[in-house]
Amino acid sequence: MAHENPGNHLIAIGTLARRTGVAVSAIRFYEEKGLLQSLRTAGNQRRFLRSDIRRISFILIAQKLGLGLKEIEEHLATLPQGRTPTVRDWERISSHMRERIDEQIDLLTRTRKRLDQCIGCGCLSLAKCALYNAGDKAAAKGPGPHMDL
Amino acid sequence: MAHENPGNHLIAIGTLARRTGVAVSAIRFYEEKGLLQSLRTAGNQRRFLRSDIRRISFILIAQKLGLGLKEIEEHLATLPQGRTPTVRDWERISSHMRERIDEQIDLLTRTRKRLDQCIGCGCLSLAKCALYNAGDKAAAKGPGPHMDL
DNA sequence: ATGCAAGCTCAATCTAAGTTGAGGTCAAGC
DNA sequence: GCTTGACCTCAACTTAGATTGAGCTTGCAT
């Protein structure tokens, strides 16, 4: 395929798009937002590092965990700029993700417990129920809207 | 407080807002979207059933689980219209939520496992990694953007 | 050397989930 | 009977996360 240069560490935006499953427009958008950086050819075309594939994969995972692009950018900012991150770099950054996942599982587990407790009780208001619990407010940065339960 | 009529099954929008923690504007918005219905007084003011408190609580929980208002509406549509739902009605609808929670916990658990497996491996592309797995695409309707991983 | 896919910029548009504001009405308490 | 807070509608605005389109350029392949 055109612009495909296997063995080269610099890849075109379309290649990056194909390798990550993300739309070209989204990649440009991420770059604009500072989540990615690119070099330019003499003809003004973007060239990415191969390691940006992983960078984008990270973005996708983090999004699934409910992080906004701003937060994700902060995480990614701790990776080396311009050079390919090492395994150690990725380990550090992904351990945050692991914590995040654990938190979310916790929150879901609690929500399930409370749902079971609450449905079936006579009250109409979750505010009176165990389901409404101040403890959740802190943990409530997860998926969905930012409205506190 | 004005318009507060304890013992009455019809409540004003402000009361509903206070009891659920949801903004008045949001309640009107939900009604517009068909998630709630209301009666009107002679003076054109909305009156809700007390049971709408629980309806809204349900919306809030479902939102936390990453459901969009459209999906939530579909769930709520299975509740009786106009009359106060029974405990059994709520049990049925909330059992879907419980399944949903279980699915999400599952997905998160798998994601964590794969994250551990993948970070540290030599490949740059999660597409080649265990992290990219067709099985997830089905389950990927959870929180965050609707982009498939 | 030319065709055409892939790239570029920039502005507009989209969806979701609301909020905000203007301008006007309703109703409860003094 | 009037003030005041709660309520009404409708339109515009907001943020996040992109997508789409117009109009133009680059550069691989033949």
The predicted pLDDT at position A139 comes to 29
| Residue whose CA lies closest to nucleotide C27 C1' | B3
The predicted pLDDT at position B119 comes to 66
A16-28 per-residue burial string, b: 16 or more CB within 10 A, e: under 16: bbebbbbeeebbe
The predicted pLDDT at position B44 comes to 96
Nearest-CA neighbor of B119 among A142, A79, A3? A79
CB B61 within 8 A of CB A131: yes
B143/A51 touch (CB, cutoff 8 Å), yes or no: no
Q: Which residue has the higher pLDDT, B49 or A141?
A: B49
Using 50, 70 and 90 to split pLDDT, how confident is the model at A135? very low
> pTM to 2 decimals?
0.80
The predicted pLDDT at position A110 comes to 85
The model's pLDDT over A78-109, given as tens digits with 9 standing for 90+, comes to 998 768 888 888 888 888 889 989 988 998 89
Nucleotide nearest to A2 (CA to C1'): D28
Using 50, 70 and 90 to split pLDDT, how confident is the model at B22? very high
Q: Which strand C bases fall within 7 angstroms of a protein CB?
A: 5-9, 16-20, 25-29
A105/B102 touch (CB, cutoff 8 Å), yes or no: no
d(CA A112, CA B102): 8
Question: Does the pLDDT value for residue A132 go beyond 50?
Answer: no
Q: Which residue has the higher pLDDT, A70 or A110?
A: A70
Q: Average per-residue pLDDT in chain B?
A: 78
Cα-based distances in Å from B60 to A22, A111, A127? 31, 12, 12
Strand D contacted by A69 CB (< 7 A):
yes
Nucleotide nearest to A29 (CA to C1'): D18
Who among residues 21-40 of A has its Cβ near strand D, under 7 Å?
Answer: 23, 25-26, 28-30
d(CA B65, CA A108): 8
CB B121 within 8 A of CB B128: no
Q: How many residues does the structure list for chain A? A: 149
Q: Which strand D bases fall within 7 angstroms of a protein CB?
A: 5-9, 16-20, 25-29
The model's pLDDT over B50-106, given as tens digits with 9 standing for 90+, comes to 999 989 989 998 998 889 999 999 999 999 877 888 888 888 888 888 998 998 899
C-alpha dihedral, B24 to B29 to B30 to B33, nearest 10°: 170
Say how far A124 CA is from C7 C1', in Å.
58
Say how far B49 CA is from C29 C1', in Å.
26
